[in-house]
Chain A
Amino acid sequence: MHELSIAISIVEMAEEEAARRSAHVSAVHLKLGALAGVVQAALLSSYELACEGTDLEGSRLLIEEVPIVVYCPACLAQHTLGSPQRFVCPECNNPVSEVIHGRELEVFALEIQE
């Protein structure tokens, strides 16, 4: 259960940004890859805990799930995988190991009130 430490990092990051802009953060937009090793439900409840007593208390965490996108060297194209349990090209069935997307754990935007 490392979601709490990740939630704390997210809150700290947002607080820093808010202080820099002298603004209040009302929502954090996060990109979460299917291969990031983070459980969404656990992160959401950890986020509430992490916000308690900070300027972000009451703010929302909005998670955008990022599917796994791989590059297939046989079709020379990128494909989205339906599951992390099968790294096989959905078009040509060749094994694929080059991950283009899916490892994201990124705060990509903040909703701020100035």
Chain B
Amino acid sequence: MSSQAVTQTRLVEVRQNVLKQNDIVARELRQRFHHAGVYVVSLVSSPGSGKTAFLEKTLALLRPKFRVAALVGDLATENDAARLARSQVPVKQITTGTLCHLEAAMVRSALDGWELTDLDFLFIENVGNLVCPSSYDVGEDLRLVLLSVTEGEDKPLKYPTIFNTADMALLTKMDLAEAVEFDSAAANANIQRVRPGMPVLQVSSKTGAGMNEWLKFLASSRRGIL
């Protein structure tokens, strides 16, 4: 080769979605879920907003009528899975290590050994994080974003992306609303600003307030996919 050789630089079009691999797996999962008749809900929120408590309550209330199971993402501990196992439903922990979100492939491997046709509902609790999980589809039918009253009404404006990618918002710890002077109307207005038309429910996992409405919503949504 001559030292005079000129390297040609040219631009080639590629057009590839960076998260293509995740999206493909998520699509496969969604098909498997629908085929098996499982309605899948994922929960996203900041750490400490009450995802596990809400899930505990939901699992306990659904269990008499439906076949339910849960996958729980956590960075390092298995505490949440241990808590949820008390509801006596199948629970599996996905320990993500340093990864700040769940990916579709992690959900797929966690499902190994479970017969999906044995389930009516599957809940996927994501890692507590309001940023990273927003980019990853995990094959869910409903992405639920939780906002606890202690976090402040402006959370949706600070983290618009995760609220925008969610299908429904849940205001949690409503039993503390008065004590922390939480303004539900302002929170709701902020949610509507970043995601117009998003349904919002108010719940308290402690007192059970709002849980009936949530269960009704779940039951009718599941009928919708069947």
Interface of A toward B, CB cutoff 8 Å:
1-2, 5-6, 9-10, 13, 17, 21, 26, 29-30, 35-38, 84-88, 95-97, 99, 105-114
Residues in A neighbouring B18, C-beta threshold 8 A:
6, 9-10, 13, 30, 105-107
Known: A37-B135, A110-B12. A84 touches B161 (CB 8 A): yes
Which 6 A-B pairs rank lowest in CB-CB distance, beginning with the nearest? A95-B196, A2-B132, A84-B160, A37-B134, A37-B135, A37-B161
- Do B10 and A112 have beta carbons less than 8 Å apart? yes
> Are A96 and B196 closer than 8 Å at their CB atoms?
yes
Is B224 at the interface (CB under 8 A from chain A)?
Answer: no
**Known contacts A2-B135, A37-B161; A17 and B193 CB within 8 A of each other:** no
Q: Which residues of B contact A36 (CB under 8 A)?
A: 135, 161
Interface string of B104-145 (1 = CB under 8 A from A): 000000000000000000000000000110111000000000
Can you give 15 contacting A-B residue pairs, CB < 8 Å? Answer: A1-B132, A2-B99, A2-B131, A2-B132, A9-B21, A17-B14, A26-B9, A37-B134, A37-B165, A84-B161, A84-B194, A108-B14, A109-B12, A110-B14, A113-B9
The answer on a CB contact under 8 Å between B11 and A111 is: yes
Give the docked Cα–Cα distance between A85 and B78 (Å). 35
Q: Is the CB of A111 within 8 A of B100?
A: no
Interface contact B99-A85, CB-CB below 8 Å = no
B107 to chain A minimum Cβ distance, whole angstroms, is 16
A86 to B18, CA, bound (A): 27
In Å, the complex CA distance between A2 and B16 comes to 19
B residues near A (Cβ < 8 Å) are: 7-19, 21, 99-101, 131-132, 134-136, 157, 160-162, 164-165, 192-197
Q: Give the shortest distance, in Å, between B152 (CB) and chain A (any CB).
A: 15
**What chain A residues lie within 8 Å of B136 (beta carbons)?**
2
Find the B residue at minimum CB distance from A70. B196
Known: A1-B132, A97-B195, A97-B196. A85 touches B10 (CB 8 A): no
Cα separation A107 to B21 with both chains bound (whole Å): 13
Residues of A near B16 (CB, < 8 A) are 13, 106-107
B164 near A87 with CB under 8 A, answer yes
Q: Given A37-B131, A107-B14, 10 more contacts at CB 8 Å?
A: A26-B9, A29-B11, A35-B164, A36-B135, A84-B161, A87-B164, A106-B16, A109-B13, A111-B10, A111-B11
CB-nearest residue of chain B relative to A30?
Answer: B18
Distance of A31 Cα from B8 Cα, bound (Å): 24
When distances are taken between beta carbons in the complex, the residues of chain B under 8 Å from A112 are 9-12
In Å, the complex CA distance between A105 and B162 comes to 16
The reply to whether A106 and B9 contact each other, CB–CB distance below 8 Å, is: no
Q: Complex Cα distance A37/B9, Å? A: 32
B164, A84: Cβ atoms under 8 Å?
A: yes
B161 surroundings in chain A (CB, below 8 A): 35-37, 84
Q: Is the CB of A95 within 8 A of B197?
A: yes
Interface centre among A1, A9, A37 (most CB of B within 10 A): A37
Identify which of B13, B100, B135, B195 gathers the most chain A CB atoms within 10 Å of its CB. Answer: B135
